[in-house]
Amino acid sequence: MLEDSSITFDELVGYKLSTRLEFADRMLDDLFTAVDHYGSQKAKEARAVLEEWDREANTDSRGTLLFYLWASRFNINDPANYSVKWNREHPDTIPDGFSDPLRAVQLLEATVDEMQARFGRLDVPWGDFYRLRQNGRDFPANGDQLELFSKKELREAWFTPEQVKKHTVRTEVFTQKGVEEYLHKR
């Protein structure tokens, strides 16, 4: 939203539902450079998958799982891993760079080994791995509203008292004696 000072409602919904991984945008160029300098054939195969990846975490995105598992090994929250550490003056562009590019590549190679052992390939769709499960329902990740969330859809908003009352199932009232619960029949 920092890049767009005037947005439409549809654009706002698009931003809300975006699964773009900004960390990938920030770090993949450095990872690719490190692979060029230090990478084995398996690191180069991973690079090829990551170059084709849309940098989104959609159910059909191929590369998200590879990046996610690498980032987990890399420990993105450790400031010692970056050549340019985070500070509040530039929160949208840093951290950046690797303090140890060789280690970043070695972690990528270990991630390749893990993915080959677990899945037999590097381009596993994110939705095959990351699932939303509740009450016997199972959806690829991408809510009560799991199905809408998985489809990147929003539910209808209830604006009037009549709309809210029509959809109310239970009301809880917090009192000094505890919680009083009222069930509503529709």
Domain map of the chain by residue range? 9-132
CB 60 within 8 A of CB 125: yes
pLDDT in tens, 120-177: 999 999 988 888 777 888 877 663 755 666 676 766 777 788 887 887 777 777 777 7
**How much is the pLDDT for 34?**
97
Note the CATH architecture for domain 9-132. Orthogonal Bundle (1.10)
Please provide the size of the chain in residues.
Answer: 186
Model confidence pLDDT, tens digit, residues 76-120: 889 899 998 888 887 777 788 999 999 999 999 999 999 999 999
What pTM, to 2 d.p., does this model score? Answer: 0.71
What distance separates the 2 farthest-apart alpha carbons in the chain?
Answer: 68
Kindly report the backbone phi and psi dihedral angles of residue 152, in degrees, each rounded to the nearest multiple of 5, phi listed first.
Answer: 60, 45
Helices (H), ranges, 3-154: 9-17, 22-38, 41-52, 64-74, 101-119, 126-129, 146-150
